[in-house]
Amino acid sequence: MFASVIVSVSSNSVDRLFTYKIPDSLVDTIRVGHRVFIPFGNRDIQGFVIDITETTEFDISKVKEINRIMDGTPVLTKELIQLSKKIATYYIDRQISVIEAILPVALKAKTKTILKLSETAGSNATELFDELQKNNEIVVSNLDKNHLKSIIPFMKSGEFVEETIVAQHTKKKTNRAVRSLNTNRMPSERAVKQRELLEWIESEAEPVTLLSIKDAGYSVQVIDALEKRGLVERVDIVVDRDPYESRVFFEAERHTLNKEQQVAFNKIEYSMKQYKHETFLLHGVTGSGKTEVYLEAIESALEAGKDAIMLVPEIALTPQMVNRFKARFGDYVAVLHSALSHGEKYDEWRKIKEGRARISIGARSSIFAPFKNVGVIIIDEEHESTYKQGERPLYDARQVAKWRAEYFNCPLILGSATPSLESYARSEKGVFTRLELKHRAKAQPLPETTIVDMALSRQEGNISIVSDILREKIIDRIQKEEQIILLLNRRGYAHFLLCQDCGHVPMCPNCDISLTYHKSNGTLMCHYCAYETSVPNKCPECQSSSITFRGSGTEKVEEILRDMFNTEVVRMDIDTTRNKGKHETLLMHFEDENIPILLGTQMIAKGLDFPNVTLVGVLNADTTLNIPDFRANERTFQLLTQVAGRAGRGDKTGEVIFQTYNPDHYSILDAQMNRYKEFYMKEMEYRRIARYSPYFFHVLFIITSENLEHCVKASHDISKILLENISNQSIVIGPSPSPIERINNRFRFQILLKYRHEPTLKDILEQLDQRYYVAYKKSGVSLRIDVDPQFIM
């Protein structure tokens, strides 16, 4: 038998399958998806078994053997292996890079698989274990072929239990526990506590933790006495790291679907019962109860014996979503997102792989949850750009979800109040099935929205970031003990430092961008390369003391709000949520303590549901409007509509204030009136004329180098290759300097390719990728190929 193996070396030169002979002793053991140690050159490295065949076209005498396997069971399913190849081909990347993105970080670290003796082991298993064990465990990778073959029957019978030990902080978590030695002896009748405790321990199928014993009122001395008499022993038991172990989830009250929700669910359920892949666009206004439809769809999948994947765009949304899902489905829910530690994420992944969890909830990377029988995939807020990976592999979770749904013949549900133009256009053409929720679930009215012209406000003498109208509304809500959400999509204290005498603005030495002032640590900071420097007392150029801060970020506005309203403010941005668990802590503090104001960046704009929030204010509605990107209008409309939907979700009427210097822009006016279809028609006409998505597909080429001349030369070279190989129906824009021309001391040029149909495009992209992989080693010129980019900056 022979195995096709992909090696864990991130290099284009070895981005292919290598053939290895499977030793006779491993023929019945090795499966597709196993991690293995293989001889490669003059060293042993890790690889993944991609395929197994009975014969090979190579000279058998020259085919090397697999040394050993790393795990008792495969870490990849056949479906995930196929998926990794599809992603690598579509997004122009190496398959091994995709595989490493699919697996948790813990499996990329140094690991070892060990075997432990189970309590049900017989004499033969015990004898073999005693022969092979060291420190009461057997390390699988240390076994020779004969020993490995001999343990397989005991693994299948469950007498040997497999565990994966991960180096450093990703080791399995253990708790100290006590188990009975089953001697059939009991303490004397006078030792009442000892007898009670021993009877309890013997009645349990698993060892009882010391913590549970102490909580039940038994002292350490009682345990010591039983141990001294040889009746019990202390052991370590493996427990899952549960990020929600301190939380109690009460069973949620079931909501009856309203008419719109029921119609939507019936169509999804019919597709599920037909084992038919269908993509549904669930277009519902904010507060229309899309999550209830998700819950019903997932329950239907579970009842059919299948599993479910649920994606959310932001970590900030995860706590509230987890609360609802845990309350409904309990321990069936696994959570996967970047805020978990490596160990917690690894344990959640294991729960899924071992079948102990049936539902995964998380951000982008949780689309790779290792389920083997998916019944439904749901992407909430499907329009969000965060579903696109920002570093290689540059996959889009929405496209990956579509491929997985096709493989499992199950529905894919894309939910949003403001769908992407691409998704809505596909629903217009019947490629997606559109389901509409036009009313809020509890029949609450949508909030009334007022637009405030900040240019006019300044002319009237108010130079504050808070307009007179918004200030009055905030005072009113504070007096009523209602809550307010304020959005400012810019963090830090001030945008930049300015010398009023010579006009000098401190710039990042590594990037072509001004430094942002952060008052909390008293530094000027670059938000691209994280460069920091102290704030100068005098202008570095003219030595003038007339330096001032310009612009306002969330840090400064928090200070203004505290002074203006003499009240507590919860601020949520990257700076306040860096530490683990801070998202949930801040949101719980805002809700449980009824804090009057929640101020934040776009992470607070969607998905949050606070019944006492009756006022939403957007302090600068133009922030995303002024970005040099063809999706700027769409993102502005989406952000404003989403954040407006946070108001009036309970029994009280909501109100929204948009502060802007562009009061007549259609993105803002249509968001004010919640007119999605009208906005869609206007924006589609602009996209048609400008020949952008969804009328054209895009590939963005970013060329970077520390040498400007090399960067320019490579950019023109790539442009020439494209023009020589594509049809005249496609459009090449550039090369031109990127909007931010230098980041981290690397100059940046870009080229945008617009196309409708280019049969040989993948070949061209692969050739360019290979060419500049070699060029990077020689001259340091790097090429990044972004297929279906979300940003063109």
Supply the range of the domain harboring residue 86.
Answer: 2-103
Same domain, residue pair 193 and 325: no
Number of domains in the chain: 6
Same domain, residue pair 562 and 680: yes
pLDDT score for 284: 94
Task: Say which residue, 244 or 394, is predicted with more confidence.
Answer: 394
What percent of the chain stands above pLDDT 90?
56
Same domain, residue pair 284 and 379: yes
In a domain, 542, yes or no: no
Same domain, residue pair 151 and 264: no
The per-residue pLDDT for range 97-124, each reduced to its tens digit, is 999 999 987 776 455 678 888 888 888 8
Residue 168 in this model has a pLDDT that exceeds 60: no
The domain boundary, picked from 132, 152, 170, lies at 170
Q: Which of 30-39, 141-150, 496-505, 773-782 has the lowest mean pLDDT?
A: 141-150
In a domain, 594, yes or no: yes
CA distance 703 to 713: 10
In a domain, 130, yes or no: yes
Same domain, residue pair 165 and 179: no
Task: Say which residue, 77 or 174, is predicted with more confidence.
Answer: 77
The per-residue pLDDT for range 294-333, each reduced to its tens digit, is 999 999 999 999 999 999 987 766 667 888 888 889 889 9
Which residues, at least 6 apart from 468, have a Cβ–Cβ distance to it below 8 Å? 457, 460, 462
CA distance 555 to 520: 8
pLDDT score for 251: 54
Q: Which of 80-94, 175-189, 400-414, 581-595 has the lowest mean pLDDT?
A: 175-189
CA-angle at 114, arms to 111 and 115, nearest 5°: 165
**DSSP characters over 732-771:** EEEEEEEEEEEETTEEEEEEEEEES--TTHHHHHHHHHHH
Q: Which of 142-146, 406-410, 457-461, 564-568 has the lowest mean pLDDT?
A: 142-146
Same domain, residue pair 489 and 630: yes
pLDDT score for 112: 67
**DSSP characters over 118-147:** -TT--HHHHHHHHHH-BTTBEEGGG--HHH
Which residues, at least 6 apart from 785, have a Cβ–Cβ distance to it below 8 Å? 92, 394, 699, 700, 701, 765, 768, 769
Kindly state the helix (H) or strand (E) to which residue 569 belongs, with its residue range.
Answer: strand 569-572
Same domain, residue pair 130 and 60: no
Q: Are 378 and 293 in contact (CB under 8 A)?
A: no
Task: Say which residue, 231 or 658, is predicted with more confidence.
Answer: 658
Residue 252 in this model has a pLDDT that exceeds 60: no
Same domain, residue pair 481 and 335: no
* Residue burial 208-237, b: 16+ Cβ < 10 Å; e: rest: bebeebeeeebeeebbebbeebebbeeeee
Residue 205 in this model has a pLDDT that exceeds 90: no
pLDDT score for 170: 46
Tokens representing residue 115 in the block: 């075997």
Cis peptide before 694 (omega within 30 of 0): yes
Task: Say which residue, 436 or 133, is predicted with more confidence.
Answer: 436
Same domain, residue pair 338 and 478: no
In a domain, 626, yes or no: yes
Residue 249 in this model has a pLDDT that exceeds 50: no
Same domain, residue pair 159 and 122: yes
The per-residue pLDDT for range 324-343, each reduced to its tens digit, is 888 889 889 998 877 677 77
CA distance 213 to 196: 11
In a domain, 752, yes or no: yes
Q: Closest Cα partner for 778 from 719, 713, 710?
A: 710
pLDDT score for 786: 97
In a domain, 718, yes or no: yes
Q: Please indicate if the annotation marks 711 as binding a ligand.
A: no
The domain boundary, picked from 103, 122, 143, lies at 103
Q: Which of 167-176, 207-216, 463-472, 613-622 has the lowest mean pLDDT?
A: 167-176
Q: Please indicate if the annotation marks 542 as binding a ligand.
A: yes
In terms of Cβ atoms closer than 10 Å to its own Cβ (0-12, 13-18, 19+), residue 81 is buried
How many CB atoms within 10 Å of residue 325?
Answer: 25
CATH of the domain at 32: 3.40.1440.60
248 pLDDT tier (thresholds 50, 70, 90): very low
The per-residue pLDDT for range 182-200, each reduced to its tens digit, is 888 888 878 888 888 888 8
167 pLDDT tier (thresholds 50, 70, 90): very low
Q: Are 305 and 371 in contact (CB under 8 A)?
A: no
The per-residue pLDDT for range 706-746, each reduced to its tens digit, is 999 999 999 999 999 999 999 999 999 989 999 999 999 99
Within the chain, how many helices (H) and strands (E) appear? 23, 33
CA distance 388 to 157: 44
- DSSP code for 244: T
CA distance 758 to 728: 10
Tokens representing residue 423 in the block: 């998704």
206 pLDDT tier (thresholds 50, 70, 90): confident
Which residues, at least 6 apart from 461, have a Cβ–Cβ distance to it below 8 Å? none
* Residue burial 494-517, b: 16+ Cβ < 10 Å; e: rest: bbbbbbeeeebebebebbbbbbbb
Tokens representing residue 150 in the block: 């001999």
CATH of the domain at 474: 3.40.50.300
pLDDT score for 107: 74
- Cα-based distances in Å from 560 to 563, 567, 604: 5, 11, 19
What mean pLDDT value characterizes the chain?
Answer: 89
In a domain, 534, yes or no: no
Same domain, residue pair 90 and 158: no
Residue 224 in this model has a pLDDT that exceeds 70: yes
CA-angle at 175, arms to 171 and 179, nearest 5°: 130
Q: Please indicate if the annotation marks 410 as binding a ligand.
A: no
Task: Say which residue, 164 or 536, is predicted with more confidence.
Answer: 536
The domain boundary, picked from 57, 79, 103, lies at 103
Same domain, residue pair 663 and 563: yes
In a domain, 530, yes or no: no
